[in-house]
Amino acid sequence: MDQDDISPSRRRLVTGATIGLAAGLAAPALAQRSAGAAGPANATTGATERGVGTAGGSAAAANATSGVQPMRDVRDLYPKPPFPHQSQPWPGLAGRMTPRPDHGEDSYRGSGRLAGRKALISGGDSGIGRAAAIAYAREGADVAIGYLPAEEADAREVLELIRAAGRKAVALPGDIRDRAFCKQIVAQAARELNGLDILVNNAARQRTHDSILEISDEDFDWTIRTNLYAMFWITREAVPLMPPGATIINTASVNAYNPSANLLDYSATKGAIVAFTKSLAKQMVARGIRVNAVAPGPFWTPLQVSGGQTQEKLEQFGGDTPLGRPGQLAELAPYYVMLASTESSYVTGQVLGATGGGGQP
């Protein structure tokens, strides 16, 4: 169709839809920043600690009361590399990272966008899953989180935060490489939450290997079962329990589109998650269930310090993005809220990117 044939009313409709989608993502982020959210630092002092200055901190406090969004330089909102040398055994704990990741614990402000909803999140103890769990609870949802028993310390913190928001929290420790456990967590979550209408397939394994010759059958199988089989098993169990209007959100990665040389098996699984998401979305239309994915770039999570990156890459993590820093999980939570809420009712089969200015989609 020639551009001149598009009516002004249609232009207004398309523009309005685009603005609405952007607003859905921006709303909670604006609330975070207006509340003086500062990253891993204490919420009341973080602006000064990041070098914004005392005046900036005072302005943020004043704006938190007035609801006005302060202007900030996004390049300096959170820590930049170089990061200190650090290593943890798999699966890693957020509480032992330096700097500690910001999942929105002291900053995320909800507005009832998920009131009465019932969510199951795999890998909900730390990283992306933790940020989503906190945001969902503060938006009014009851939340069940799956996690490895070794992650109990992180998980306890999340469960307390969910309960502090006045919502029901369900702990589901175990290994999702086990098909029986995947069936169990879906059934238990639906039973204890009295329903299930949000599923977030987020748990993942990432290990750095410079060559395919270094990847053992055991390592490859571990990654595939964690990243793909578990997503398949959990989703297959969840779908019959989910009503029309429910939503499924899968965590993909920028590595699905621009794979890192040292993350061969991980990148392969993330590419498969994109295809799985788009295909499943077409199937689920008949059930009234939306299916989407988020493809993050470099975000500061325990995956990176527990074998997901070399020390050299870890110390400069996120420095090669246009923003010059890794993302913090509080910056990603709004994506998961928007995709779970009815605000994105016309969005299915899509992959949303958050890459700090690089990569795809």
Active site residues: 266
What single-letter DSSP state applies at residue 240? G
The Cα–Cα gap between 265 and 58 comes to 47
**Three-class DSSP category at 296:** strand
Element (H, E) at 249: strand 247-251
Q: What 3 state SS string does 301-353 have?
A: CHHHHHHHCCHHHHHCCCCCCCCCCCECHHHCHHHHHHHHCHHHCCCCCCEEE
Structure tokens at 88: 């943890």
Q: With contact defined as beta carbons under 8 Å apart, do 94 and 103 qualify?
A: yes
Q: Which helix (H) or strand (E) holds 292?
A: strand 290-296
Q: How far apart are CA 266 and CA 223, in angstroms?
A: 7
- End-to-end CA separation in angstroms for the chain: 25
Coil/strand/helix, residue 185: helix
> Backbone phi, then psi, for 232, in 5-degree steps?
-65, -50
Q: What distance in Å separates the CA atoms of residue 151 and residue 249, rounded to the nearest whole number? A: 22
Find the helix packing angle between 217-224 and 264-284, rounded to 10°.
30
C-beta of residue 21 within 8 angstroms of C-beta of residue 350 = no
Give the C-alpha separation, 147 to 134, whole Å: 15
Q: Cβ of 354: how many Cβ atoms within 10 Å? A: 17
Which burial class, exposed, middle or buried, applies to 229 when counting CB atoms under 10 A from its CB (0-12, 13-18, 19+)? middle
